[in-house]
Every structure is written in structure tokens, then in C-alpha cells.
Amino acid sequence: MPRPVIVVSAATLAAVVGAAASLAERAGPPLRGTLHATADTLGRVTLSRGGNPVSALRAGRYTIIVVDRAAHSGFIFNRPDLTQIIVTSSRFVGTRTMTITLAPGSWSFQGEVGALHDFTVVR
């Protein structure tokens, strides 16, 4: 039995390739991995990747898992433009997972109270 022949025009192929590129653009920057953060009962916060403290990261999307044990701390990222991403608030206790996009620049993280911890995001 002969197999059917499928003919695709150049215009159709270009439309399919264009749609795939559009979907890739909407998906955003590449997913780079997972960051682990903690807020302990004394209000200290940490951020690590692969078990090592974060000092520099490549730009992109990251899944962050925050384990917050303090009802008075929280976990906050400070963007280079000085706006904040509040991952957990001071009243939250538990584990929260979210995906964030880190753009190039000087970032920091902190609890609701306490010291800032700086890190750099590079291209």
C-alpha cells in the first residue's frame, strides 16, 4: 500500500516556525534552576543554589523554594530598580514555591527586618 505524500508550502512552514518562535518568546527567559531560601526563627535569611550561598547568578527564571519558620520575618527580594518581590510576608510560616525572573543588575534579599544580602545577576 503506497504511503500518502504530504506537501507543505513554504508559507505554511514559515507560519509554523513563526508560531513556535512566538511561543518561545512568551515563555520568557530560560529556566535556570532552583534556589533554596530560609527564614529562621531568629529572623536570619539565607539563599543558596546547589547547597552553596548565592553571590552571582545568570539572568533568567528561577524556581525559588522558601522555608519560612518565623512568624515575624518573611523573605523579600530587592530588584535593581529598588522595587521588591515579597515571597513570604512577616505572618507567613511554612513553605512557598514560586518562579521569579532575575534581570541583570545588583540584587539583594532580606527578611522583613534585618540585614540586606547582596548578589549580582549577570547576562
DSSP states along 78-96? E-TTS-EEEEE-TT--EEE
Report the pLDDT value the prediction gives residue 31, as an integer from 0 to 100. 97
pLDDT at 12 over 80: no
Question: What proportion of the chain, given as a percentage, has pLDDT over 90?
Answer: 66
Report the pLDDT value the prediction gives residue 70, as an integer from 0 to 100. 86
Q: Which residues, at least 6 apart from 99, have a Cβ–Cβ distance to it below 8 Å?
A: 31, 61, 62, 63, 64
pLDDT at 6 over 90: no
Pairwise CA distance, residues 122 & 56, whole Å: 7
pLDDT at 120 over 70: yes
Average pLDDT over residues 60-68: 97
Report the pLDDT value the prediction gives residue 45, as an integer from 0 to 100. 95
Average pLDDT over residues 61-89: 94
Residue given cell 518573611 in the structure block: 74
* pTM listed for this prediction: 0.76
CATH placement of domain 29-122 = 2.60.40.420
pLDDT at 53 over 90: yes
pLDDT at 101 over 60: yes
